[in-house]
A = this chain, B = another copy of it.
Amino acid sequence: MSEASPSKTAAGRFFEDFRPGEVIRHATPRTLRAGDASLYSALYGSRFAPQSAETFARTIGYPASPIDDMLAFHVVFGKTVPDVSLNAIANLGYADCRFLKAVYPGDTLSATSEVIGLKENSNRQSGVAYVRSKGLNQRGEIVLDYVRWVMVRKRNVEAASPEAIVPKLPEKVAVGELGLACPPIDRAAFDAALSGSLRMFEDYVAGEKIDHVDGMTVEEAEHMIATRLYQNTAKVHFNQHSEGQGRFGRRLVYGGHVISLARALTFNGLANAFHIAAINGGRHVSPLFAGDTVFAWSQVVETAALPGRDDVGGLRLRTVATKNQPCSNFPDRRGEGYEASVVLDLDYWALIPRRA
């Protein structure tokens, strides 16, 4: 035959294809190597010491220099895209993201997602799907676990709507769940000259705001290289031919790229907050495009001792990233929304050594 076989290509799930309780095993497992860590460094300029230096990591208690938390997150997230969000209209949010196991070069990550909620929109054109995604290493251990919800098109607006199930999500990850991916840290061995800052857990107080000062301009080649590194196939990031005819006329930068840029910028002010232990929630407030310059500031929402641990404490942070707007005035929410420059509002827990 000489017919086209569109059925061989992945169409992705439409809203009516999601089944409550369904567990999806995603393609393609990915081995993370030192070369991926090198590329991640080169894309964001991250300088947190344990991820940068084998020696520093081992001295404070890691068995090896760990893979950056967000690199592991992006790789797991990327795997879920073809099954969960290929037909997404919008990525609405994340919650309850917990980093449970450190990832090291040589580990192979795979991913699964469970459908935990479904709610059709009143216009019946689309609905919201909630999935709990897990990243697993080659031993089947869960390295991270998070919920996200996306608005997905219906293939057929006449399709029957499922009974609405909206999962109850925690406003924040509980303190008792933090730190599983972080080995006991030898505080006395944590060399503050090498880590880049004398500021430890005790130096941060709830409410304080930190302007991270620096700005980073994004190029098309950079965000596409990053997003392919994560094997994230969402076409809005890559295809200028179709995006040029779309709403923005341009390729959209992957939201995770913005998170990693903001995280790297926070080094200036939070140099010792070396590990992201959990993401409580995140909003991509407005789109970022190549040519934009990203700035960031953070607010310490709360500080928390970790039960049973005196080596590290938790800083609950809101990091707000802007485009083309330095953050000395801390651009933030305004009314129902945000000041126009804001692109990201991320609420997360970072761990930082306690003073020895």
Distance between Cα atoms of A4 and B36 in the complex (Å): 36
Overall SS of chain A's interface: mixed
Chain B min CB distance to A113 (Å) = 12
**Of residues A5, A6, A48, A82, which shows the largest number of chain B Cβ atoms within 10 Å of its Cβ?**
A5
Q: In the complex this chain forms, how many copies of it are found?
A: 3
How many chain A residues touch B (CB < 8 A): the figure is 92
* Nearest chain B residue, comparing its CB with the CB of A1: B207
Chain B contacts for A138, CB-based, 8 A: 54-55
Contact A228 B55 (CB under 8 A): no
Residue A13 at the B interface, CB < 8 A? no
Q: A39-72 CB contact bits vs B (8 Å, 1 = yes)? A: 1011111011100111110000000010000000
Chain B contacts for A27, CB-based, 8 A: 47, 49, 193-197, 271
Contact A194 B293 (CB under 8 A): no
* Nearest chain B residue, comparing its CB with the CB of A213: B9
Distance between Cα atoms of A29 and B48 in the complex (Å): 9
* Nearest chain B residue, comparing its CB with the CB of A31: B54
Contact B211 A240 (CB under 8 A): no
Residue A355 at the B interface, CB < 8 A? no
Contact A209 B54 (CB under 8 A): no
Distance between Cα atoms of A227 and B34 in the complex (Å): 19
Chain B contacts for A287, CB-based, 8 A: none
Contact B39 A110 (CB under 8 A): no
Contact B241 A9 (CB under 8 A): no
Chain B contacts for A209, CB-based, 8 A: 2-5
* Nearest chain B residue, comparing its CB with the CB of A82: B196
Residue A306 at the B interface, CB < 8 A? no
Taking a contact as CB atoms closer than 8 A, the residue among B4, B42, B225 that contacts A229 in the complex is B42
Contact A224 B219 (CB under 8 A): yes
Contact A6 B47 (CB under 8 A): no
Contact B38 A53 (CB under 8 A): no
Known: A8-B210, A29-B55, A271-B27. A42 touches B217 (CB 8 A): no
A-B contact pairs, 20 of them (CB 8 A): A2-B299, A3-B208, A4-B209, A5-B209, A10-B196, A10-B197, A10-B268, A25-B193, A27-B196, A29-B56, A34-B34, A43-B228, A47-B233, A53-B108, A54-B138, A82-B196, A215-B238, A216-B238, A222-B225, A242-B326
